[in-house]
Amino acid sequence: MIVADPAPKPLLVDSFGRRVSYLRVSVTDRCDFRCRYCMAEAMTFLPRRELLSLEELALIVDRFVDRGVTKVRLTGGEPLVRRGLPELAKRIGERIGTGLNELTLTTNGTRLTEAARPLAEAGVRRINVSLDTLDRERFAYIARRDCLDEVLAGIAAARTAGLAIKINMVALKGLNDDGFVEMAEWCAAQGFDLSIIETMPLGQIDEDRTDRFLPLNLARERLAQRFTLEDSDHSTGGPSRYIHARELDIHIGFISPLTHNFCASCNRVRLTAEGKLYLCLGQADCVDLKAALRGGGPRALDAALDEAMRIKPKAHDFRIERTAVSRHMSVTGG
């Protein structure tokens, strides 16, 4: 068993003066969907023996919190396919109020009917649910799985458990780009906020992403035809730029890494299930926290975090016409 080192360490600040306060933890690269913009149908996932244990994940998160991380998001793949995820959430949730301000989760919703209440009891107060369309046939085509009923039931269970919900919708030209208004109206009726996201060139998939790429200025234009959109300073600590739809009284966020990057204010790093810490979603720079923790304990982990801050890139280089990195989105959770 690795014993935590209580010695204080400085806050995590990269070489460009950006303070890292947000850690995204991919607890698994596996998913029960095969969304066309994210994965190929035939995927090879990490052997389970290569994953960090739940105890190791908790220890690493502890050290991040000790060094100034105030927000942790659990992601995947689909995080709820990882056995013991609610127990990990409970362990991390113990840090809320002692450095950690918020523990959140992103999910596709299929397993929320069982997991929503345990997550709420663990300290999760807010979740993001990926939902690209409310149309059953389109949903089955995009996700390659006919699971819309399970997702909607999971969302309902999460709301019953008291979790605040934001819907994440990836904009896909020719597939769901006529559905922004419907989604916004549905979110407003349910009491949810909405984020619309540009598809990102990560990992090889079975299709040409350029055929489906939609700049988010077009999404905004379509919403503006129906609603009065007002700029907003609303923030959840992530990369969304929010507007307020007056008639619906909801916030709609836009995450646009290709057409309007947010690198200058980047406060995020991403830990994979096998312990690699990626410093930028669109770059390959990383440090191996699993090797550091297992090889040298907390002191080596701190040294690895210092090195990570030294090498964190200034910006990504996303271009839709080429794959930025071979790593799939499911490895680092977006």
Annotated binding site for S-adenosyl-L-methionine: 37, 77, 130, 200
Question: CA-CA distance, 77 to 185, in Å (whole number)?
Answer: 28
Annotated binding site for [4Fe-4S] cluster: 31, 35, 38, 263, 266, 280
3-state SS string over the chain?
CCCCCCCCCCCCECCCCCECCEEEEECCCCCCCCCCCCCCCCCCCCCHHHCCCHHHHHHHHHHHHHCCCCEEEEECCCHHHCCCHHHHHHHHHCCECCCECEEEEEECCCCHHHHHHHHHHHCCCEEEEECCCCCHHHHHHHHCCCCHHHHHHHHHHHHHCCCEEEEEEEECCCCCCCCHHHHHHHHHHHCCEEEEEECCCECCCCCCHHHCCCCHHHHHHHHHCCCCEEECCCCCCCCCEEEEECCCCEEEEEECCCCCCCHHHCCEEEECCCCEEECCCCCCCEEEHHHHHHHHHHHHHHHHHHHHHHHCCCCCCCCCCCCCECCCHHHHCC
Annotated binding site: 24, 31, 35, 37-38, 73, 77, 106, 130, 166, 200, 263, 266, 268-270, 280
Annotated binding site for GTP: 24, 73, 106, 166, 268-270
